[in-house]
């Protein structure tokens, strides 16, 4: 092998699927090792945390049961809150910099990796990550983010 591992090879090593040569290279090469560690931290950060609802909350919600007419104002308020939360959530997570997937204020190879992981896992991807402007978020956007991350500024 000559040169450094590509993004997919680094991800394969992270997932335990890399070839022995790729694992050896990642262990010996400081640059590839640092990138591999960054991928591991990112993958750990993308793992959703388990959330349990406390029994007291469940009891309080169940205590709110009302006759048929009383639920309409509550439903209207809930719909309004959900709508407001959706607007807040959608505007709060848009990247300030095109291609800044992890929202750290810069475009780097970790952003390309994060988008590749989202695409590969089938998660819904924010249309704001269409950095090449072709109207869809796909592998070409991952390549564009990777290209931007190594461009001389």
Residue 7 in any domain: the answer is yes
Query: How much is the pTM?
Result: 0.38
Work out the pLDDT band at 66, boundaries 50, 70, 90: low
pLDDT at residue 52, rounded to an integer: 83
Residue 130 in any domain: the answer is yes
Work out the pLDDT band at 95, boundaries 50, 70, 90: very low
Asked whether the CA dihedral 73, 74, 76, 77 is positive or negative, the reply is positive
Higher pLDDT, 71 or 117: 117
- Segments forming the whole domain that contains residue 62: 55-82
Q: What is the 3-state secondary structure (H, E, C) of the chain?
A: CCCCCCHHHHHHHHCCCCCHHHHHHHHHCHHHHHHHHHHHHHHHHHCCCCCCCCHHHHHHHHHCCCCHHHHHHHHHHHHHHHHHHHHHHHHHCCCCCCCCCCCCCCCCHHHHHHHHHHHHHCCCCCHHHCCCCCCCCCHHHHHHHHHHHHCCC
> Are both 113 and 147 inside the same structural domain?
yes
Least confident residue range of 65-69, 89-93, 111-115: 65-69
Residue 120 in any domain: the answer is yes
Tell me the CA end-to-end span of the chain in Å, nearest whole number: 29
Arithmetic mean of pLDDT, 3-29 = 88
Q: Give me the residue label for tokens 């335990």.
A: 16
> Are both 103 and 119 inside the same structural domain?
yes
Residue 106 in any domain: the answer is yes
86, pLDDT greater than 60: yes
**Tell me: the pLDDT tens digits for 109-124?**
888 888 888 888 888 8
> Are both 20 and 75 inside the same structural domain?
no
Half-sphere exposure of 46 (CA within 13 A, CB side): 18
Rounded to 10°, the helix 20-28/7-14 angle is 100
pLDDT above 90 coverage of the chain, percent: 1
Computed over every residue of the chain, the mean pLDDT equals 82
CATH of the domain at 116: 1.10.1330
Residue 141 in any domain: the answer is yes
> Are both 61 and 41 inside the same structural domain?
no
Residue 144 CB contacts under 8 Å (≥ 6 apart), including other chains: 99, 131, 132
């Amino acid at each position: 092998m000559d040169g450094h591992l590509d993004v997919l090879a680094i991800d394969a090593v992270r997932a335990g699927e890399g070839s022995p040569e790729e694992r050896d290279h990642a262990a010996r090469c400081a640059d590839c090792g640092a990138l591999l560690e960054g991928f591991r931290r990112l993958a750990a950060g993308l793992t959703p945390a388990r959330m349990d609802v406390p029994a007291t909350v469940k009891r309080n919600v169940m205590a709110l049961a009302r006759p048929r007419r009383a639920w309409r104002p509550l439903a209207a308020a809930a719909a309004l809150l959900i709508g407001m939360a959706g607007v807040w959530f959608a505007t709060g997570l848009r990247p300030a910099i095109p291609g800044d997937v992890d929202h750290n204020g810069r475009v780097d190879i970790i952003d390309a990796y994060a988008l590749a992981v989202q695409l590969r896992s089938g998660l819904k991807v924010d249309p704001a990550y269409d950095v090449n402007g072709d109207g869809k978020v796909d592998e070409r956007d991952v390549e564009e983010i990777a290209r931007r991350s190594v461009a001389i500024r």
